[in-house]
Amino acid sequence: MGNIFGKIFSITTFGESHGVAIGVTINGCPAGIPIDMAFIQSELSRRKPGQSKITTQRKEEDEVEILSGVFEGLSTGTPIGLLIRNKDQKSKDYSHIAEKFRPSHADYTYHEKYGVRDYRGGGRSSARETAARVAAGAVAKLMLKEFGISFHAYVSQVGTLKLEKSYEQLDLSKTEDNAVRCPDPEMAQQMFDYIDDVRKSQDTVGGVVTGVIKGVPVGLGEPVFDKLHAELGKAMLSINAVKGFEYGSGFEGIKMKGSAHNDAFYVEDGTVKTKTNLSGGIQGGISNGQDIYFNVAFKPVATIMQDQASIDTQGNEVTVSGKGRHDPCVVPRAVPIVEAMAALVIADFYLIARTNKLRG
Amino acid sequence: MGNIFGKIFSITTFGESHGVAIGVTINGCPAGIPIDMAFIQSELSRRKPGQSKITTQRKEEDEVEILSGVFEGLSTGTPIGLLIRNKDQKSKDYSHIAEKFRPSHADYTYHEKYGVRDYRGGGRSSARETAARVAAGAVAKLMLKEFGISFHAYVSQVGTLKLEKSYEQLDLSKTEDNAVRCPDPEMAQQMFDYIDDVRKSQDTVGGVVTGVIKGVPVGLGEPVFDKLHAELGKAMLSINAVKGFEYGSGFEGIKMKGSAHNDAFYVEDGTVKTKTNLSGGIQGGISNGQDIYFNVAFKPVATIMQDQASIDTQGNEVTVSGKGRHDPCVVPRAVPIVEAMAALVIADFYLIARTNKLRG
Amino acid sequence: MGNIFGKIFSITTFGESHGVAIGVTINGCPAGIPIDMAFIQSELSRRKPGQSKITTQRKEEDEVEILSGVFEGLSTGTPIGLLIRNKDQKSKDYSHIAEKFRPSHADYTYHEKYGVRDYRGGGRSSARETAARVAAGAVAKLMLKEFGISFHAYVSQVGTLKLEKSYEQLDLSKTEDNAVRCPDPEMAQQMFDYIDDVRKSQDTVGGVVTGVIKGVPVGLGEPVFDKLHAELGKAMLSINAVKGFEYGSGFEGIKMKGSAHNDAFYVEDGTVKTKTNLSGGIQGGISNGQDIYFNVAFKPVATIMQDQASIDTQGNEVTVSGKGRHDPCVVPRAVPIVEAMAALVIADFYLIARTNKLRG
Amino acid sequence: MGNIFGKIFSITTFGESHGVAIGVTINGCPAGIPIDMAFIQSELSRRKPGQSKITTQRKEEDEVEILSGVFEGLSTGTPIGLLIRNKDQKSKDYSHIAEKFRPSHADYTYHEKYGVRDYRGGGRSSARETAARVAAGAVAKLMLKEFGISFHAYVSQVGTLKLEKSYEQLDLSKTEDNAVRCPDPEMAQQMFDYIDDVRKSQDTVGGVVTGVIKGVPVGLGEPVFDKLHAELGKAMLSINAVKGFEYGSGFEGIKMKGSAHNDAFYVEDGTVKTKTNLSGGIQGGISNGQDIYFNVAFKPVATIMQDQASIDTQGNEVTVSGKGRHDPCVVPRAVPIVEAMAALVIADFYLIARTNKLRG
């Protein structure tokens, strides 16, 4: 269970960090989408390790191979199989953690749940699994681009360094200009230096990724349980290290009065708009045509380069030593993952919305 | 779409605010659970309007009728049908909103999505729908009580009034002692007075409900997409007026270093525990046996007793007048809804976990 | 599990034979369908007991109440709740079967599976449950009527009395003219007399219902697992007492050579047709625009008016006595059930097909 | 849609006949199953082409690679990825069918449904896709072997040559002794000669595969829609070229009286048994502990080595010439596919049944 996401446009993923390969099958992708493999590969490169000194120096080429579902450059409506071989998995020695439970990792819970556990590099619980999501999300983006829908995520907070500007006050086209993926160059530099300090102290720190979706038509999202923001929230919370999700006014909105929080409707050039957008583009769980925006909170990753007290599978007290190559802060590399998951949610709701009326 | 929640222990709901009835069918409920109808009714009474002057004075008796799935006091494994008639739905005049889009309500999005809309009292988008969830959640609670799992939600913030104590510093048995459902009597009084002021000013205000789940065994939740906190987040975000969800250290945890954030394992009396619990009882998406706790942010509800500028279905500028009986702050009545949704998530994962190993 | 059918246009049913009520929630029904309650009621009347002396004399009024999802005569896109109270359930004495397992009924398997069992009239395993399907199927028919799709089932075999004409050689408008629901008047009379003889001998006999679906556009059904005929087969096999399903040439086609079995394409008036239709309107699991036709085999029902040897819940040998009012042959009343299930399958695939191409 | 099968133990498949590879991801497979790769490979070899002169001479090595979900020989509970490269796909010239619709193939329906079509060797509609099912079914068999459940399919009819013995009168261990996979040596020889004659006449013929499942405990299958035989029927009908399914007494049972058809219960050595088994091991949709048996009808495959009249994508009349290497009768190679699909159905219901009672 738990390896399928989506109802119509759905993905099934597989693969462990240090197994043979990871991959994804996209089921329900409509026929006729131009599948730009270079774009899919470029999305994977945004996620891959080793992009700068503030991301892990692990080498993963993340070369994607397409196995099915595309013919003469177009999706055919049949499942799209995507495969990424693990190239760096072999020789390493994992005996030092085979019997130990690393603090705040999934070692203990997997061990108890399944009895059997692929302990190499975190196995299935490794963030390596998200490469499959990024590949699939790239296909969703290609589909939605045809309808003018676009995705823009960026880093808005690292530790206590918080960008106090809203997404509308930023030039989001600058996000990819720096290693932190913060569109404000000054803040980006501060964040970079801070992450580098954290890295040098062999520690980690958390952060926030803000997501913005533009061009979503009115009517996506389903009432009651499958509200657009509920699926979006689930999608984000399913990403490794995520601890919180808010959209529109979010946790800040709590403090407001209804009279200030309500978004007044008006008509401009024949289009319904709202004067404010504290709803975050979603009302009653359904998109209202305004920008959708949300925040995703990432904890400081659990893998630190320091010794920590823990227990082993026999319950004995042991020391877990930091080893290997890890990210001091995950948010820069999380940006394409957040976009990918958002694209998967919107693609699914886009197709479902075609079934809402008698004449679709 | 969107009216089914859960995979094994699943619910299907129906009903509009001012239709004939609302109801729920529970599918996949195991046989042999003592079904205590008085308990189900008492849970509904916690949610119902008119409990004090700070909740809406609307009268809804919310009397639940059981239609199937229970025989001689025990669940039989067949679907449990629960029905709640709408008693107060008749004569009221809704012509004043039939053609108008109330700001920050679902009027506009439903209208555009479906073309047809039951505008009476918000129709399907009304919070009345949550009564069905509370009834179903009560059945989930009855099942989980058999395994020592319990649910404790309470109001921890109203507007800017924030309870600065953690759930462990509170006596949660006092939650039901006051109309606000805040277990700290002093803070409860302040919140009560504040909500009453807001009510008098014909406005509304937001708040936070904190949820705590005790007694969850190790191993619930599925890797990757159906992580325990991801489903929990979706469940909470699907409740009307919710804008955010966080668990464990949540948005605050961003600021911490990994070395401080990691929860060290130790063994006490043969049981694995963690010294801190910033993970919120969930690691890698799977319960680790510690308490699960989370916060749910509710916006100030959109229905205010003031005039507001808006548009009608033809795009004309109109004034929407506040009318009727509504909650100045939803969080006191949201407490049993949060518990119900949490119980539904845990019940489903509890059953799924039986399928994880060769010998279940 | 097992009480939900369909993916987009889906139904959830509940209810026991002798409980308070049975019912169904239709989820995913598009907005804008004229909901003709008289039609739904008339479909239920075709299924109800007591229609002639060859059907059970049990009285079930099967009066359907609509609880939600319809406003001013049109479906609103929200779930449609339908309720049918059980009126004849009360006083009867079931102590004679409470502890006995009736041969070839579901008594023993339910008992072992669940431990708890509502033994009154078969509980959930009673064919009474199919009333909910007929009500939901009527809504599916109303939707599909808008697109020119129609459903025609009839009795083509009772015991060894087999109608040797194909559906094309019959006037299907005559199906409802007789109590057997066989459109050939002569054969209908023979079947009627035969069933009446079987009834008098306190026995039962099996039969075949043939289904025909006209007006299905090209492209319904999904490749691989969810082939149109695979879902249709599942739908039919899920009806009580069904033992077999075949479509197109079916079991007879086995004996043919490919050269004779292949359906040659040609174009007539700009429309692609096939010269023969041994494919039964489905190729590769997808409708090809020709008529869809299939046969459904029903066993002789297990309830007979004779004494039978069996065992009780303790494993003791006992005698089960025939009692009550039952059908000597179920196929006449199964005709509307077969149509209903077919309509549910087609409605679901009709909506799914809108998601197959980039521009739907 | 349509590429996922199963609810808990589920599979997602991908791949076209002449694409890069086909594959399957098994989701929900319990941890702790010994994964015998040699067994999986041997099952694939039973399905592969070129086994004798009566099967296609096409060469497919069907070498399976395991990509994930197994560690140190045991399943880990995470998804099992299986990959089979297409080795024979390259050079061939498909221009002769690129624009033509072969009679009774899926060419026309795919073309209309999707607009885009991989015409090489039937693309996704090719029976090559079933190799993925056989690989996944082998894993299901490995799981169920641990509980004493076994699968035995064999050919019982080819054209008009029908084995008149029931499965109980046959020595099923002899099934693999001949190329036809009929456990009766004499009939096997007749069938072989007949198929060879059909092959020489450049034609094809249909047949029946009978399936037997032994060792199924009481209680598998879910009431109402997901009856055990309904899912089994869907599974079988989803296999290429299948036109019918019946279980237990099937279509023959129609002719019987209820008094003869009912299976009387008795107790032997403390175990509940039935004197006859016309129910086919399933009552009320739930297994009753007796053998499950069923028949699957396969049509004569559409690919014949003769010229046929048809149309092209423009609606012009054309001649389709027989070419390539194809099976004159599919049933010998369908035997392992029938077993695989049956194993997938039982594995899923086996896990679901653990959730039926309060204490599983």
The span from the CA of B53 to the CA of C202, in Å, is: 67
pLDDT for position A62: 87
Average pLDDT over residues B252-278: 96
What is the band of B60 on the pLDDT scale with cuts at 50, 70, 90? Answer: low
pLDDT for position C91: 52
Collect all residues of chain C within an 8 Å Cβ-Cβ radius of residue B10.
4
ipTM for the assembly: 0.97
Task: Give pLDDT tens digits for C238-262.
Answer: 999 999 999 999 999 999 999 999 9
**Nearest CA-CA distance, residue A245 and chain C, Å:** 27
> What proportion of chain A, given as a percentage, has pLDDT over 70?
97
Number of B:D CB contacts under 8 A?
A: 60
Is B258–A303 a contact, with Cβ atoms under 8 angstroms apart?
A: yes
Q: Out of B20, B79, B124, whose CB is closest to C14?
A: B79
What is the band of A87 on the pLDDT scale with cuts at 50, 70, 90? Answer: confident
**C241 marked as part of a ligand binding site:** yes
Residue C158 CB neighbours (<10 A): 30
* Helices and strands (DSSP H and E) totals, chain A: 8, 19
Q: Is the pLDDT of residue D288 over 80?
A: yes
Collect all residues of chain B within an 8 Å Cβ-Cβ radius of residue A246.
243-246, 251, 297
Contacts of A260 (CB under 8 A, 6+ apart): none
pLDDT for position A323: 73
In chain D, the residue whose alpha carbon lies closest to the alpha carbon of A18 is D68
What is each CA distance from D231 to A300, C128, C232, D27, D58, in whole angstroms? Answer: 46, 21, 11, 18, 32
Task: Give pLDDT tens digits for C135-156.
Answer: 999 999 999 999 999 999 999 9
Collect all residues of chain A within an 8 Å Cβ-Cβ radius of residue B114.
356-357
The span from the CA of C60 to the CA of C47, in Å, is: 10
Collect all residues of chain D within an 8 Å Cβ-Cβ radius of residue A67.
14-15, 19-23, 83
Confirm or reject CATH 3.60.150.10 for domain A4-353, answering yes or no.
Answer: yes
Residue pair D99/D117 in contact (Cβ under 8 Å)? The answer is no
Collect all residues of chain B within an 8 Å Cβ-Cβ radius of residue D355.
8-9, 28, 30, 351-352, 354-355
Collect all residues of chain C within an 8 Å Cβ-Cβ radius of residue B67.
14-15, 19-23, 83
Q: Is the pLDDT of residue D39 over 80?
A: yes
Residues 254 to 313 of B: which have CB under 8 A from any A CB?
254-259, 261-267, 270, 272, 274, 278-280, 283-288, 297-304, 306, 308-311
Collect all residues of chain D within an 8 Å Cβ-Cβ radius of residue A21.
67-68, 81, 83
Average pLDDT over residues D74-92: 86
What is the band of C95 on the pLDDT scale with cuts at 50, 70, 90? Answer: confident
**Nearest CA-CA distance, residue C9 and chain B, Å:** 8
B355 CB near a chain D CB, below 8 Å?
A: yes
The span from the CA of B148 to the CA of B154, in Å, is: 20
Q: What is the mean pLDDT of chain A?
A: 94
Q: Is the pLDDT of residue C97 over 90?
A: no
**D125 marked as part of a ligand binding site:** yes
pLDDT for position A60: 65
Task: Give pLDDT tens digits for B307-339.
Answer: 999 999 999 999 998 776 788 999 999 999 999
Residues 167 to 226 of C: which have CB under 8 A from any A CB?
223
**Nearest CA-CA distance, residue A355 and chain C, Å:** 5
Is B358–D30 a contact, with Cβ atoms under 8 angstroms apart?
A: yes
Q: Out of B8, B28, B355, whose CB is closest to D30?
A: B355
Is D116–A15 a contact, with Cβ atoms under 8 angstroms apart?
A: no
Is A206–B261 a contact, with Cβ atoms under 8 angstroms apart?
A: yes
Number of A:C CB contacts under 8 A?
A: 59
**A302 marked as part of a ligand binding site:** yes
D14 CB near a chain A CB, below 8 Å?
A: yes
Residue B18 CB neighbours (<10 A): 20
Q: What is the mean pLDDT of chain D?
A: 94
The span from the CA of C50 to the CA of C55, in Å, is: 6
pLDDT for position A193: 97
Neighbours of chain A (3+ CB pairs under 8 A): B, C, D
Average pLDDT over residues A330-355: 98
Higher-confidence position of C94 and B182:
B182
Q: Is the pLDDT of residue B90 over 60?
A: no
Task: Give pLDDT tens digits for C250-294.
Answer: 999 999 999 999 999 999 999 999 999 999 999 999 999 999 999
Q: Is the pLDDT of residue B102 over 60?
A: yes
**D77 marked as part of a ligand binding site:** no
Collect all residues of chain B within an 8 Å Cβ-Cβ radius of residue D32.
357-359
Average pLDDT over residues B32-51: 93
Is C115–B23 a contact, with Cβ atoms under 8 angstroms apart?
A: no
B360 CB near a chain A CB, below 8 Å?
A: no
What is the band of A326 on the pLDDT scale with cuts at 50, 70, 90? Answer: confident
Residue pair B285/B275 in contact (Cβ under 8 Å)? The answer is no
**HEC sequence for A174-226:** HHHHCCCCCCCHHHHHHHHHHHHHHHHCCCCECEEEEEEEECCCCCCCCCHHH
Collect all residues of chain A within an 8 Å Cβ-Cβ radius of residue C77.
356-357
pLDDT for position C54: 79
Collect all residues of chain B within an 8 Å Cβ-Cβ radius of residue A259.
203-204, 304, 306, 308
Considering only CA atoms, give the Rg of chain A.
21
Residue A171 CB neighbours (<10 A): 10
pLDDT for position B78: 97
Q: How far apart are the first and last CA of chain A?
A: 32
Question: Which of C13, C17, C25 has the most B C-beta neighbours within 10 Å, making it the best mutation to test the interface with B?
Answer: C25
- Structure token pair of residue B228: 């325990």
pLDDT for position A56: 73
Is A358–C32 a contact, with Cβ atoms under 8 angstroms apart?
A: yes
**A124 marked as part of a ligand binding site:** yes
**Nearest CA-CA distance, residue B27 and chain C, Å:** 6
Contacts of A207 (CB under 8 A, 6+ apart): A155, A157, A158, A159, A298, A329, A330, A331, B254
**Nearest CA-CA distance, residue B72 and chain A, Å:** 32
Is D13–A25 a contact, with Cβ atoms under 8 angstroms apart?
A: yes
pLDDT for position A263: 97
3-state secondary structure of B31: strand
**B325 marked as part of a ligand binding site:** yes
Q: Out of B115, B223, B302, whose CB is closest to A2?
A: B223
Average pLDDT over residues B148-163: 98
Number of B:C CB contacts under 8 A?
A: 157
**C79 marked as part of a ligand binding site:** no
The span from the CA of A75 to the CA of A72, in Å, is: 8
**C325 marked as part of a ligand binding site:** yes
**A3 marked as part of a ligand binding site:** no
**Nearest CA-CA distance, residue C14 and chain B, Å:** 5
C143 CB near a chain A CB, below 8 Å?
A: yes
pLDDT for position D62: 87
Q: What is the mean pLDDT of chain B?
A: 94
Dihedral sign computed on CA atoms, order C179, C184, C189, C195: negative
Q: What is the mean pLDDT of chain C?
A: 94
pLDDT for position D49: 82
Average pLDDT over residues D73-84: 97
What is the dihedral angle through the alpha carbons of D246, D252, D255, D258, rounded to the nearest 10 degrees? -60
pLDDT for position D60: 65
CATH topology of domain B4-355: Chorismate synthase, AroC fold (3.60.150)
The secondary structure of D5-26 as a DSSP string is E-SSSEEEEEE-TTSSEEEEEE
Residues 19 to 78 of D: which have CB under 8 A from any A CB?
19-23, 25, 27-28, 31-32, 65-69, 71-72, 74-78
Residue type, C50: G
| Domain boundaries, given as residue ranges, for chain A | 4-353
